[in-house]
Chains A and B, each alone.
Chain A
Amino acid sequence: MRRPVRAAPSAAAARVTLWIYVALVLAFLLVPIAIIMPMSFSDQPYLTFPPPGWTLHWYAVVQDQPRWLAAALNSFRIGVPSALLAVLFGTFAALAIVRSGSRWAKPMTLLVLAPMMLPHVIIAIGLFPTLVDLRLINTYAAVVVGHTVIGISLVFLTVSAALRGYPASLDLVARTLGANAWRTFVRVTMPMTWTGIASGGLLAFAASFDELMLALFLTSAKTETLPRLIWDQLSFALTPALAAVATLMLALSMFLLSAVAVIGSVRSPPPKRIFP
């Protein structure tokens, strides 16, 4: 699979153009993220780039304000149960739809994925009056419900991919061997799909951790999350403390993404042939 040693001039030009294009796309994606980090170490009381001097002062400021810590804890209190509920519902939805073979499988898939396509503000507007009626508004449950809705789509995607990665006959054969539906799930389906379930759960947590729009509608001062607090602070104090919080959140997100990537690379050996 070696490339030809010498490419034709037009091919070389195309290659250079492609490299420039890829570099521009990466810059577009990464520069805003890269800029926020140095700004958090700035010795000025406002956001500047590049910062004229360096300090860790703003991290100390963040640490000293209990509101930031409370918001961080809220983000976990909301993100963890949202992710767990999303794993529960998303996994079973994927199992039902992928393995059904029904002609309703396609429309049902679109329905489960709809929260990914819909603007979050619309989901929020839909959830708000319902949760008011249920007297759940401003509780943790309210925003957990909202974030579960978003997380289900993500878990559904990763678990469906894992289910499609092995032949359904593996589940069927377990049934003939004497395992009922539940034991088949525990003994065969779970070991075959745990990478999809785990990465789906991490993605669902990350989605909840980053989410602003539903948090604006569904959280109160008591249950506010980190993105909501950043948003509130933006309107009156544009200090490097915000950049410091953003950098910390970025670190956690990067950690979660790496975890997903690592899980994705640990795969049980696939069966040799696919069921026709």
Chain B
Amino acid sequence: MAKSGGTELRFEGVAKHYGPIAALQPTTLLICPGEFFALLGPSGSGKTTLLGIAAGFIQPSEGRIFVNGHDITGEPPERRNIGMVFQNYSLFPFLTVFKNVAFPLEMRKRPKPEIAERVRRMLEMVRLAHLADRLPSELSGGQQQRVALARAAVYDPAVLLMDEPLGALDKALREEMQDEIKQFHAKIRATVIYVTHDQQEAAFMADRTAILNHGLVEQHGPQNELYESPRNAFVAGFLGEANLLTVVGITPLPNGRYRALTTEGLPLTTAKAPPGIGELVACIRPANVAILRESHSRTDRFAGMIAEAVHAAESIRYRVQINERCSIVVRALSTRGADRYRPGEQVTVGWDPEDVMIMPK
């Protein structure tokens, strides 16, 4: 995960309050040198506040921030040696592409020939050398964001902060730019903190992801870990699809497994020992639910009726009504030869006890 070069960034108990409102609850995170770290969460979850604290725009109410072990909490933004890329690009509209990228080097009083050389090299890296004399308003959105990237990286900042940098682009361009930023990161090897509300973007780009909600880091780790063992219902629901059922009681079974009763009326079997406290939910990923034939065996199986069938590019999403309180979402691959079901058909759905995760609400 950690690459050579880059800088370690550490948040220690960092929090921000606005009067009685906590924009960010005490947060401790260690971001490794060269790591691509995503902050993922709905709007208002505190991810931009955390980024603003890292940049020095926002002074934390509590806690400290360290770069390579050096405390930078009180340092103004211009002395932190960070690079920042905003969603709206924030290029200086009165300066040419070249002058925009040269700006941070001029602020550092580098000699003119050095500036020219480094700007040229950086513009080549983002494939915009031929547009050096244009004004930002003469570029497309993707080109402007590449200039912003070049400008934020030309002075080898310790950390590169990106605030939803692709949020203003359309889907096709966004995917292209995701590739571009990833390759760019591989070349410059800076530590990157990347704010996004798009979990697929985080999954594609980041080494590790922190999930934020209501100013709190709910969980952080590699995306597959977050997906496979979410710590609570919010993380489970935010990363990918989830069937969530409310658990009302748990009893151990003689075979070492557990039986969970749900308000939806479905008794579930789970293989893992459930957490002992608080309100619990059971989570079953739609991809782990199968529509069964008679010959198939599953521990938990329930009869129901196809209520809805949505055909997407690579999969079909069925909603199977089990009873009036509960429907289960099934994600089936739409490979050639796979069975197709129509709304109204009677089917049986089932899953393995290993795929039933019990977690706090």
Chain B interface residue count: which class? 20 to 34
Partner of A167, one of B57, B76, B90, B108: B90
Which B residues lie within 8 Å of A172 (CB)? Answer: 55, 57, 77, 84, 86, 90
- Interface residue A96 (Cβ < 8 Å from any Cβ of B): no
Residues from chain A with a CB closer than 8 A to the CB of B93 are 166, 192, 268-271
| Given A175-B56, A180-B78: A271 in contact with B88 (beta carbons within 8 A) | yes
Question: Is B137 part of the binding interface, using a Cβ–Cβ cutoff of 8 Å?
Answer: yes
Within 8 A of B (CB), among A125-145: none
Q: Give the chain B neighbours of A66 by CB distance below 8 A.
A: none
A114 to B297, CA, bound (A): 80
Contact A169 B155 (CB under 8 A): no
- Smallest CB gap from B140: residue in A: A272
Please determine whether B87 and A272 come into contact, CB atoms closer than 8 angstroms.
Answer: no
When the two chains form the complex, which single residue of A176, A188, A273 contacts B55, counting CB atoms closer than 8 Å?
A176
- Asked if B103 and A176 sit within 8 Å, CB to CB, the answer is no
Docked pose: A270 CA to B104 CA in angstroms:
22
Q: Are A271 and B155 in contact (CB under 8 A)?
A: no
B136 adjacent to A271 (CB under 8 Å): yes
The verdict on A275 contacting chain B, using a C-beta distance below 8 Å, is: yes
Find the A residue at minimum CB distance from B104: A177
Does A191 interact with chain B (Cβ within 8 Å)? yes
Nearest CB of chain B from residue A65's CB, rounded to whole Å: 49
Taking a contact as CB atoms closer than 8 A, the residue among B81, B83, B90, B135 that contacts A269 in the complex is: B135
B168→A178 contact, CB < 8 A = no
Q: Which of A166, A174, A183, A270 has the most C-beta atoms of chain B within 10 angstroms of its own C-beta?
A: A174
B84, B88, B91 — most chain A CB neighbours (10 Å) = B88
User: How far in angstroms is the closest Cβ of chain B from A222?
Assistant: 46
In the complex, which residues of chain B have a beta carbon less than 8 angstroms from the beta carbon of A276?
87-88
Candidates B76, B137, B155; contact of A180 at CB < 8 Å? B76
- Provide the bound-state CA to CA distance between A167 and B88, in Å: 9
> From residue 126 to 142 of chain B, which have CB atoms closer than 8 A to chain A?
135-137, 141
Known A272-B137, A272-B141, A272-B144: A175·B77 in contact at CB below 8 Å: yes
Partner of A275, one of B78, B84, B88, B137: B88
A179 within 8 A of B: yes
Asked whether A178 and B88 contact (CB < 8 A) given A172-B57, A183-B107, A269-B135, the answer is no
A residues 168-207 near B (Cβ < 8 Å) are 169-170, 172-181, 183, 187-188, 191-192
- Whether a CB of chain B sits under 8 angstroms from the CB of A274 is yes
Tier of interface size on chain A: 20 to 34
B82 within 8 A of A: yes
**A179–B141 contact, CB under 8 A?**
no
A-B interface contact total, Cβ < 8 Å: 94
B-facing residues in A205-237 (Cβ within 8 Å):
none
Interchain CB contact under 8 A, B91 and A271? yes
**Chain B, 45-85, CB within 8 A of any chain A CB:** 55-57, 76-78, 80-84
Q: In the assembled complex, how far is the CB of residue A263 from the closest CB belonging to chain B, in whole angstroms?
A: 15
Asked if A176 and B77 make an inter-chain contact with CB atoms under 8 angstroms apart, the answer reads yes
B78 touches A178 (CB 8 A): yes
Residue numbers in A under 8 Å from B56 (CB-CB): 175-176
**Interface core residue of B83, B89, B90, B168 (most chain A CB under 10 Å):** B90
Q: How far is the CB of A246 from chain B (nearest CB, A)?
A: 41
Smallest beta-carbon distance B77→chain A, Å: 4
Residue of A nearest to B105 (CB): A178
Contacts of B285 in A (CB 8 A): none
Nearest A residue to B168 via CB reads A273
Q: How far is the CA of A169 from the CA of B55 in the complex (A)?
A: 12
Q: Is B319 in the interface zone, CB < 8 Å from A?
A: no
B94 touches A192 (CB 8 A): yes
Interchain CB contact under 8 A, B84 and A176: yes
Bound Cα distance A111, B107 (Å): 37
Instruction: Report the minimum CB–CB distance from A99 to chain B (whole Å).
Output: 11
CB of A174, distance to nearest CB on chain B (Å): 7
- Could you tell me the distance between the alpha carbons of A270 and B103 in the complex, rounded to whole angstroms? 19
Closest Cβ of chain A to B145, distance in Å, is 11
A166 to chain B: closest residue by CB: B93
Q: How far is the CA of A183 from the CA of B109 in the complex (A)?
A: 13
- The docked-state distance in angstroms from the alpha carbon of A192 to that of B151 is 19
Residues on B with C-beta less than 8 A from A270 are 93, 137
Q: B87, B89, B107: which contacts A177 (Cβ < 8 A)?
A: B107
- CB A133 to nearest CB in B, in angstroms, measures 41
Contact B90 A177 (CB under 8 A): no
Q: How far is the CB of B23 from chain A (nearest CB, A)?
A: 13
10 pairs of residues in contact across A and B, judged by CB atoms under 8 Å: A172-B84, A175-B78, A176-B78, A177-B103, A178-B104, A191-B94, A271-B89, A272-B88, A274-B88, A275-B88
Top 5 A-B pairs, shortest CB-CB distance: A178-B107, A177-B104, A175-B77, A176-B84, A269-B137
| Further pairs besides A175-B57, A273-B168: 5, Cβ < 8 Å | A170-B92, A176-B55, A176-B152, A177-B107, A276-B88
